[in-house]
Amino acid sequence: MDTMLKKPNRPDDEANPAASADGFHAYRLKVLADAIHEETEYEFLAMDAYQALVEAREHASDRRSELFRDGKLICALQFLPSGMWKVDPPIERMTTS
């Protein structure tokens, strides 16, 4: 499994006051295995979901992927041939008490 940590050029921290102290969030993209490729993970820092999707597009190709922000799964996604993202909410796992 490949892992890469990448920090983009630092944008203005005031653009996103909810972000971490330095303005960035830790994202992890898990690109799922298919008939040809093994599962691969990429770690990177981004200010917001838009920057995270730009980074994800560079690595995901058209394979199904999962995107995590600060360790929490936020969505499943796939870049479609039409040039659009298909984004699905994460599947909530039901637990019984």
* DSSP code for 37: -
pLDDT at 92: 59
- Please provide the average confidence, as pLDDT, over all residues in the chain: 79
| Mean pLDDT value across residues 10-17 | 41
| Mean pLDDT value across residues 76-81 | 92
pLDDT at 4: 47
Region label for 36, one of left (φ > 0), alpha (ψ between -120 and 50) or beta (otherwise): alpha
Write down the residue that tokens 């394979």 correspond to.
Answer: 63
